[in-house]
Amino acid sequence: MTNSPVSSSEGNSFDLLDPRIQHWIWASGWTELREAQDRAIPLILDGSEDLIIAASTASGKTEAAFLPILTRMVAPSPHPLLAIYISPLKALINDQWRRLEELTEKLEIVVTPWHGDIGQQRKERFLKSPQGCLLITPESLEALLCRRGHGLAGLLSRLAYVVVDELHAFIGTERGKQLQSLLHRIEKALGRPVMRIGLSATLGDMEGAAAFLRPDSSRNVSMIDSKGGGNELKVLVKGYLESTSSGANDPESAGVAKAAIASDLFRVLRGSSNLVFPNARSEVEYYADSLRDSCEQMGLPNEFWPHHGNLSKEVREGTEEALKQIDRPATAICTSTLELGIDIGPVKSVVQIGPPPSVASLRQRLGRSGRRKGEPMILRAYCIEEESDDPGISELLRENLLTTTAMVRLLAEGWYEPIRARKMHASTLVQQLLSTISQYGGAHAQRLWDLLCVSGPFRAVTSAQFASLLRELAKREIVFQDHTGLLFLAPAGERMTEHYTFYAAFATEEEYSIVSGNQTLGSMPITRPLSPDSYLIFAGRRWQVVSISSNEKVVEVKPAAGGTVPKFNGTMGADTHDRVREEMRKILRSSLAVPFLDAKGQELLAGARGNYCRMGLDHKWILQSGGEVQIMLWCGDVIKDTLALMLQQRGNRLAYEGGLSIPVKGATAESVREHLKELADGPAISPLELASSVQNKIGEKWDGLLPVELLDASFASAKLDVGGVQSVLRTRFNEE
C-alpha cells in the first residue's frame, strides 16, 4: 500500500481530462477540482495500480473515479471499454445513474443500471453490447456470473475498471467476502487483473482496507486519504432518566423519557432538514409517529418521515424526495439505510438516539451534516438511563450515556474501529462453491480448491476442511461426482442456485407483508404473537390488525388512533470495540467535566463516577454482590463473550446478556478468581473446542450446510478471541 502524493502543480490533472469533460466541469460552476479528484485523475488514467479514495461525504469521490474513467473511455481505441460500478444499495445505483447520465450525455457512453427493479429490455441491450458503465449490486453480479457461464470472458472482455462504492460497508461481512470472490473469479476468467477503485468516507484502517480490496497482494494499492475539510463540529449529548421501579409501572408513566425526547426533537428540528437515527426499526416508527402527530396537532404540514429497509420502495422514495426538496424542511427518522451515500441533499444536523453502533458508523452518519461551505457538522445525541429498585452495574455506571460519550470523544480524535480480518466466512464459501459449479456447468475439486482457496479469498480454509465440505454437500445430495471426477449440481443444488434468493450471501428474516386496503405498506418480521384487534406502528403511523394469514405471510391493517404497540426486532447494534470500553473507563476515572453533555447528562455522569469510586472499580474488577459475582474486564464484546463461554465450560452459571460485566451466579469471588487465574496462566483453550460447546452457532445464511468441524472453525474465527482473553486477564491481575 502506498499513499499517493499531493498534486505538485494545480491544473495538471484538469488538463489530462477530455475537453468535453472539462467543459462539463466549467458548465457545472466548478472553480477548481477537489483534492481527491486532482490526485486520483493521473493514477486512474495510468491504471497500473489499484486505488482507494477515502474522502468525506459530498467531497466528489464519484467524480474523482469517473472523470478519468470516462476520459479513458472516449479516447481513441479499437474497442469500447467497460467499467463496473458496484454498490451495496439499489437506491445508490439509481442516484449514480442519474449523475452519470448527466455527465455522459454528450460523450455517447451508455450507462446501464442493473438490479431487480430494472427492466429486462435494458439488461438485454447491455448483454448484446457490453460497454460503457454497468452499475450493479453484488447479488446481481453473482446472478450474471451464474447465468453467463463460459461466456463470461467474452461478455466482460472489455472490462478496464471496477469501482466499489461505500467500501467500508463490505469489509468484514459475508457480503464483502462474496464480493472479493466475484472479483477474483472475473479476473481468473479474463486471465488478467483489472484496476480496482474503492470509495469510502469512513476508513480508519487504511492497510486493512487495501488488503480487503486486493487480498492476494498481486497489485499495489495506492491510497488517497482526503477526509479533511476543516468543518467545525458541534455536539450536544442530552441525558434522560426513565424510572422502572415498582411504583412506576403504570401505563401513564411508561415511556416518559421517549416522549420527552420526541418533544425536544419537534422543538429543535422543526423548520430544518435533519436525519434522526434510533437504534431499532420499532423506535423509528415510534418517533416518526410521535413527530407526525405533533405536526397534526398544531395544524402544520408534516415534516417528519420514516425510512427503513422494511418499508416499501414507494414509502422510502417518498422520504428521500422530501429530503431533496430545498424549499421545504424535512427530517427522516431512519436506520442505516440513510447512513450510506444516497443523494438526499444537505441536512442541518444528525441525531443519534441511544449509543451508536460504532464510532465508524457515527462518523459516516455525521458526514451527512455540514456539507455546505462554512456550515458546521452538528450532532445531537439522546441517552435514556433506567432507574430501578435494584440497579445493576450497567445502570449504576450509566452505560448508554458513557458509551455515547466515549464514542464522541474517539470520533473527535479521528479513531475508527479497525478491521477484524480473521473471519473465515465458511458460509459464503458454500455459496461461492455452488455458484462456481453452476457458472462452469461442472468443475473438478482441485480447480475449485485452487480458485476459491489457494488463489481466492478463502485462504483460511484448509484442504482437509474443503474436502470435508465437499463430502457434506454430497451427503446432502446437493452436489455429486461422476466417474471422471467432475463435480456437478445435484437436483437439490440446481433448485438452490436457480432460486433468486441464492444470490445474496447474507441471511434475511422471515417477514410479513403489511397491507392496508389495496396498498402494500412494506414488510416486517413478526416474532411475537399477534392477533386481530392488536396494534402496531408502521410507516410512521398507528394501525389496528384486521387479519393475519400465516400461510401467505400477510397482515391486513387499518388506520388506528391508539392502542398498545408491540415492539418488533431489528436493532442495529454491533460488537463494542476494546478501545471504546477503555475510553469509557478513562472517563469514569477522570474528574474533568465533559463539555458537550447537558446539565442532566453531567449529573448522570457525576453519579456514575461516584458509583465507580464507591465500588472501588479503579482497583477491583471481581466484585461479590450477594450470591453473584460480577467480572469487570473493560474490554470489547468479542473478548467478553469468549470469556463467558470459557467460564460456562468450567461449570459456572452465567446470567450474561452483554453489558459492562459478566455476572456469575451462585459463586464466590474467591472461586471465580481461581478460575480466572487458571485461564490467564494455564495453556490456551482450543478455540475449536470452545466453539464445539456452543449450541446456537448457525447465524449466517449457509451455516446449516457446513460439516460440524468447519462450522466450529468458522464460528471461532468470527466470534472468539482466546488469546485476547488471556492477555486481558493477565493485564487485570498485574494491575492489582
Q: What is the pLDDT of residues 539-565, one digit of tens each?
A: 767 788 888 786 677 889 898 765 444
pLDDT at 251: 42
- Residue 363's H or E segment, with its range, is helix 359-366
- Residue 605's H or E segment, with its range, is helix 599-614
441 and 463 belong to one structural domain: yes
Q: Residue 696: which pLDDT band, with cuts at 50, 70 and 90?
A: confident
pLDDT at 418: 83
Distance CA 319, CA 332 (A): 7
270 and 388 belong to one structural domain: yes
Angle between helices 599-614 and 578-589 (to 10 degrees): 90
Separation of CA 356 from chain center = 12
Q: Residue 227: which pLDDT band, with cuts at 50, 70 and 90?
A: low
Spell out the residues 6+ positions from residue 180 whose beta carbon is closer than 8 angstroms to its own.
212, 215, 456, 457
Tally of CA atoms within 13 A in the half-sphere of 629 that contains its CB:
22
DSSP E strands, 56-188:
82-86, 111-114, 132-136, 159-164
Separation of CA 235 from chain center = 23
Asked if residue 276 is part of any domain, the answer here is yes
Asked if residue 433 is part of any domain, the answer here is yes
DSSP E strands, 111-218:
111-114, 132-136, 159-164, 195-200
222 and 239 belong to one structural domain: no
Q: Give the position of cell 461516584.
A: 610
Q: Residue 489: which pLDDT band, with cuts at 50, 70 and 90?
A: very high
102 and 194 belong to one structural domain: yes
User: Which cell numbers hold the place of 145?
Assistant: 456470473
Does the pLDDT value for residue 707 go beyond 90? yes
pLDDT at 469: 98
Across 99-103, 188-192, 504-508, which has the greatest mean pLDDT? 188-192
Q: Give the position of cell 472516449.
A: 74
- Residues 379-391: what's their mean pLDDT? 92
pLDDT at 9: 41
pLDDT at 254: 53
- Residues 703-708: what's their mean pLDDT? 96
Distance CA 439, CA 608 (A): 59
Q: Residue 105: which pLDDT band, with cuts at 50, 70 and 90?
A: confident
Asked if residue 598 is part of any domain, the answer here is no
Angle between helices 491-498 and 426-440 (to 10 degrees): 100
pLDDT at 324: 87
pLDDT at 243: 85
User: Which cell numbers hold the place of 597?
Assistant: 453533555
Question: Taking the CB of residue 694, how many other CB atoms lie within 10 A of it?
Answer: 16
355 and 444 belong to one structural domain: no
- Residues 475-496: what's their mean pLDDT? 96
Q: Which domain holds residue 276?
A: 233-413
409 and 435 belong to one structural domain: no
Does the pLDDT value for residue 206 go beyond 90? no
92 and 186 belong to one structural domain: yes
pLDDT at 561: 64
Of 364, 389, 413, the last residue of a domain is: 413
- Residues 589-607: what's their mean pLDDT? 97
pLDDT at 455: 96
Listed residue (673, 624, 664, 660) closest to 644, CA to CA: 664
- Residues 269-286: what's their mean pLDDT? 92
Lowest-confidence segment of 84-93, 224-233, 368-377, 499-508 by average pLDDT: 224-233
pLDDT at 522: 83
- Residue 631's H or E segment, with its range, is strand 628-631
For the chain, the average pLDDT equals: 88
Across 126-130, 146-150, 367-371, 574-578, which has the greatest mean pLDDT? 126-130
User: Which cell numbers hold the place of 317?
Assistant: 422514495
Distance CA 64, CA 153 (A): 28
CA distances to 74, 96, 121 from 101, rounded to whole Å, are 15, 8, 18
62 and 203 belong to one structural domain: yes
Q: Which residue has the higher pLDDT, 183 or 61?
A: 183
User: Which cell numbers hold the place of 495?
Assistant: 433448485
Evaluated on CA atoms 264, 265, 268, 271, the torsion sign reads negative
84 and 183 belong to one structural domain: yes
Q: Residue 1: which pLDDT band, with cuts at 50, 70 and 90?
A: low
Does the pLDDT value for residue 116 go beyond 90? no
186 and 258 belong to one structural domain: no
Helices (H) and strands (E) in the chain, counts: 27, 26
- Residue 381's H or E segment, with its range, is strand 377-387
494 and 517 belong to one structural domain: no
- Residues 527-548: what's their mean pLDDT? 69
By percentage, how much of the chain surpasses pLDDT 90? 62
How is the beta sheet containing 443-444 ordered, strand by strand? 443-444, 486-489, 479-481
> What one-character-per-residue DSSP string does 34-49 give?
-HHHHHHHHHHHH-SS
Of 360, 386, 413, the last residue of a domain is: 413
Asked if residue 575 is part of any domain, the answer here is no
pLDDT at 118: 86
Amino acid identity for residue 476 in this structure = R
pLDDT at 565: 42
Of 475, 503, 531, the last residue of a domain is: 503
399-418, pLDDT tens digit by residue? 999 999 999 999 999 898 88
- Residues 295-310: what's their mean pLDDT? 92
Number of structural domains found in the chain:
5
DSSP β-ladder status, 628-631 and 622-625: antiparallel
Asked if residue 454 is part of any domain, the answer here is yes
Cβ–Cβ < 8 Å for 506, 173: yes
Does the pLDDT value for residue 248 go beyond 50? no
450 and 480 belong to one structural domain: yes
Q: Residue 533: which pLDDT band, with cuts at 50, 70 and 90?
A: low
Asked if residue 437 is part of any domain, the answer here is yes
CA distances to 118, 128, 502, 528, 547 from 123, rounded to whole Å, are 8, 9, 20, 41, 40
